[in-house]
Chain A
Amino acid sequence: MFKYIRLETKNIAYLFPFIVILLSACSNSTDNTAVDEEILLKEWDSYKENASESEVSIFMWGGDEGINAYMDEFVSPELKEKHNITLNRVAMDTNEILQKLMNEKRANQEEGTIDIIWINGENFLNAKENDLLFGPFTEVLPNYQEYVDTESLDILYDFGTEVEGLEAPWGSVQFVFQYDSAKVSDPPKSFEELSTWVKENPGKFVYPEPSDFTGNAFLQHLLYDQIGGPDKLLENGFDEEFVTNNTDGMWEYLRDIEPFLWRDGETYPASLTELDRLYSQGEIWMTMGYNEARAESFINDGTFPESTKSFVLDSGSIGNTHFLAIPYNSPNKEGALVAINELLSPEAQMTKYDTTYWGESMGIDPEKLSNDNKEKLAAMERGGSVLPANELNEAFLPEVDTQYGGWIREKWLNEVVQTD
């Protein structure tokens, strides 16, 4: 008998963690809105004071070694030295970060683990609609006020969603195609020429499926081309009837080139990584992606052939801005503000522009820099695979409502894939 009793008490101990979990899920629902508003009313210097010796966790997509190196080798020591902040970078896909926040929101968890997230587009729309973000906070950042072109449309709108101060612009990228100049002498200038090229070189071109961000952007270019530029799409927001009625040619075009694509169009790469792998192994001769300088780091580490060059089509190239935001339940909002402000500083932005690490365009306005910095910027070499700035600027096209992305995905499946 004694033996049984001992076993039972032991088991109550086993149960303890579960009870704690159950109880903690039920409590913890205080309202923090008032505290948040108070934070935003403080003086800038008091943030710096409070942030000192604290830890700031940034959750961000970690699939690019150049970007990771920029964070770990430049930003992290910089924050430590200037503000005594310990930066803790956690690699996670943005949609999963939002899922985590969404779960925390449902469980009424007011103290989370994330202080900064890297975000834009659909993810921002979802975060905004579900009240997952803290703010509006951008107005309190000195560097935002001083260096950001606050009137610019691609900073006021993120893929058609109004930003409303909930995220601060970190950088911007433009969509370019990369090709191997050793194999392709004269890259196409329009979708028509691309189609001719694809037919002359069967199996050497493919785009990622549109569930991938890059594949979706490729199709969006085609959509713009089809209806004569993004203006009509920008005017009315998402208009399903309009695009459905005016895009037969687009799907016709895709069905027409499909038999000449990689693997005879039977399958498409599931991700940009996969497309780049095919390009680096020479299976295909062109790849593509956001960030006009993306090929540089691949050329430097030997993944892409040195003869890699880039091009944009005459009908333009889509560019977008990406942002930094603070979750509603960030445990260190003041630290996050200081860190984001530092990331928007000319120094941090110009190091990011340099191809050593990342090589993408700045989130701040180059015109607002000091003369010294302007000169430095002009002297920076972006590398042989990057198109000249004026050519990129001329080609720049804005993003439209994110719902077009979803429409493209659905429609592509019906019109291109299921017709085989």
Chain B
Amino acid sequence: MKKKRKIFSKFYLGLMLVFFYLPIVYTVIFSFNDSRSLTVFDGFSLRWYERMFNDRTMMQAIGYTFLIAILATLISTIVGTITAIALSKSRKSVQLVMEQLNNLPIMNPDIVTAVGLLMLFSSIRFIEKGFMTLLLAHVMFCIPYVILSIMPKLRTLDPNLAEAALDLGATPWQAMTKVIVPQIMPGILSGALIAFTMSFDDFVISYFVTGNGVSNISILVYTMSKRINPSINAISTIVILIITVALILINVLPMLRKKEVKA
């Protein structure tokens, strides 16, 4: 009886994983298909990759996606860290108001944030829609997640440490970078990671605030997918590959390091 239950639970989890990976495997396989068909595999070919690399709009979209994700991660991690530390030392009332404001983009559906930003950017004349608005919007929705992942770490921190640093003659900046930041590093790193993937994957907000032909991978897939286009499979496979490698590195490296320490 017990054994039967164990087999069933493994079967169920296996089925779940098949469900999750079926479309991913399907995409990768059909990116190498020789024909346009999405149902019959006509032999191995790299023609869709060739077409992707020769397509300027596709390469540009990949470039913009990375550039914006890296810039948005850098900016939002730095600003988020400074703000989180500052808020932890502020009055309770200030903290409360800022937390509410900060939670708004997280609680709000993406599309509501998106139309709000669209109206804001449209009413400011000197901002040209495109790269700049995309970057501003991404920084805007990334910072709240960075702050949210750092705050709990700050709460467990001993407040006397920063105080001691200041008493010993450190400037506030030194106290922050040399005393507080090293202790909340795990929070900062996970915040940065969330920011990067949020920016890398974003579709809804980017779709509304962009303009002048600037697009990221998500917008590209959305606009191209109105017709069957196997190049999308090629670009998807590249996204899948990058994310998989990054995640495996992030998850496996610490495990290996732990083992080394143990040995």
Q: A and B bound? A: no
